[in-house]
Structure 1
């Protein structure tokens, strides 16, 4: 069974994911990279896709991330039988 990843993805205003490195202030590390800035944060699950609505702050997305991850942990796994 593949590992399920639940991450918080930074989004551009058009809804695409930002992959640029940013400094602690939130500004792009490389000014010439063309990053227009992040506007939202979405919880993304490798098994379920986007979870809920995007949040304006990363800290607001963390409880939803934790809850979704816990839902996967609580789901019963299929029984396997060794032969």
Structure 2
């Protein structure tokens, strides 16, 4: 049986994954890397992909991730 995971993914404004180091205000620590900063958080299921619409506050994405498990 395959293990299904649900996670919260930080994203840039164009919906690409953001794995850059950021400040507490979600702005990039090193702007020279080309990161525009985190603007949204998407709940992602390993089997079904994106769940619902992106949330603009990580605290709002948390309950959706827990309900999806």
Corresponding residue pairs, total: 69
TM-score by length of 2: 0.85
TM-score by length of 1: 0.73
Structure 1: 5+ residue runs without aligned partners? 70-83
More strand by share: 2
Which is greater in Rg? 1
How big is the shift at 1:24?
3.3
Q: Highest relative contact order (Cα 8 Å, sep 6+), 1 or 2?
A: 2
The structure 1 segments of at least 4 consecutive aligned residues displaced by more than 6 Å after TM superposition are none
What is aligned with 1:39? 39
Instruction: Confirm or deny: 8 A CA contact 2:26 2:39 kept in the other structure.
Output: no
How big is the shift at 1:30?
2.8
How big is the shift at 1:44?
0.2
